[in-house]
Amino acid sequence: MNMPRPPVCFLFDNGSLRAESTQSLRRVAAALAGRTAREVRAVSLLHSSRVPAEELGGRPALLMEPALREFLAAEPTGAADLLPLFFGPGTALTEYVPGRVAELRRQYPAARLRLARALVDPGTPDDRRVARMLADQVRAAAEGAGWRRPKVLVVDHGSPTRAVTAVRDHLGGQLRAELAGEAEAVGVASMERRVGTEFDFNEPLLAAALRLPPFDRGEVVVALQFLSPGRHAGPDGDIAAICLAAEAASPGLRTRMTAPLASHPLLIEVLAERLAAAQDA
C-alpha cells in the first residue's frame, strides 16, 4: 500500500532585489527540510525573480504564485503548506496570500492548500522564543564590541498595519524582560513609516530615537527585527546609514547592529512548529 505523499512546504518571504536575501531564505529552507524530513521549497511573494540567476548560483529565485501554479498543474490533487517567514500579520498574510490561495482553490478544487501562522503571536505571551533570538543577537553584538551594559533599540521596517507594529512592541517588552540587568534601557523604533497621522503608531522612527535621550549617547545596540540581510538590514543598508548619520550628529553616540534572525538556530524550531500546526489543522 502506497503512503500518501506529505504536503510540500512552500516557505515564503516578501522578496528582495538583493541576492543575499534569497540565499538566506534558501539556507533556512534547507535547514527546515533537514529538521522535518519534508520537501521545503524557498519562494518569495515579489521582487526576487529580478535578481540575476548568476548571483544565485545559476538557480533563479522563484515567486510563490507561479511556483504553486506549476506544482498544481502537475498535481491537481496535491497538498501544499504555505509557511510564512514573517514576524506578524501584515497585509501580505491577511489579504495578498489568501486572495491568491482562494483563486487557486477555485481552479484546483481538489487541491489542499493551508496557510500557516506567522512567527510571533502577541496572544501567546508565554512564547518568548523570538525575543530570545533577539536577546542572543544583542549579546553577541555587545560582546563583539566589548560593551558590558548597552542600551538596546529594537527596530522593524515599519508598517501601515497596526497589528504588525503591535508585534514590534510585544517583542520589545519581551526583550526588556530577557535582558533585565544586561541592558541599561530597551526601546523600540521603526525604520520608516507612511505619511499621515493614521500611521503615527509606527513612532518613534529610528533616526529620531537615536537623537533623543537615552539613546542619543553612549553604547546602543540596534536589534534588527529583520530575518534576512538586504537593502534595509544589510551591512551597507538603510539602517546602517541611519546609524552612521546619528553618530555624526551625536559624537558621544556609538551604535552596533545585530545580525538578522535567519541565522539563529531557534528559528527552525519555531518554523517546524508552525508547519506541524498547519498540517494538523
- pLDDT for 188 beyond 50: yes
Q: What mean pLDDT comes out for the span 225-230?
A: 92
Q: What mean pLDDT comes out for the span 256-268?
A: 96
143: confidence class by pLDDT, cuts 50, 70, 90 = very high
| Inter-residue contact 111 to 77 (CB < 8 Å) | yes
**8-119+264-280 belongs to which CATH class?**
alpha beta
pLDDT in tens, 122-133: 888 889 999 999
- pLDDT for 5 beyond 80: no
What does the domain layout of the chain look like in residue ranges? 8-119+264-280, 129-262
| Inter-residue contact 254 to 221 (CB < 8 Å) | no
Task: Write down the pLDDT at residue 1.
Answer: 45
Q: What mean pLDDT comes out for the span 61-86?
A: 97
- pLDDT for 2 beyond 80: no
The helix/strand/coil state of 221 is strand
- pLDDT for 93 beyond 90: yes
Average pLDDT taken over every residue of the chain? 95
Cβ-based neighbours of 1, under 8 Å, separated by 6 or more: none
**Buried residues in 223-246 as b, exposed as e (16+ CB within 10 A):** bbbbbbbbebbbeebbbbebbeeb
User: What cell numbers appear for 206 in the block?
Assistant: 529610528
Q: What mean pLDDT comes out for the span 251-269?
A: 96
Q: Which CATH architecture has domain 129-262?
A: 3-Layer(aba) Sandwich (3.40)
Cβ-based neighbours of 4, under 8 Å, separated by 6 or more: none
Q: What mean pLDDT comes out for the span 148-176?
A: 97
Q: CA 165, CA 171: separation in Å to the nearest integer?
A: 10
Q: What mean pLDDT comes out for the span 36-51?
A: 96
Q: What mean pLDDT comes out for the span 270-276?
A: 96
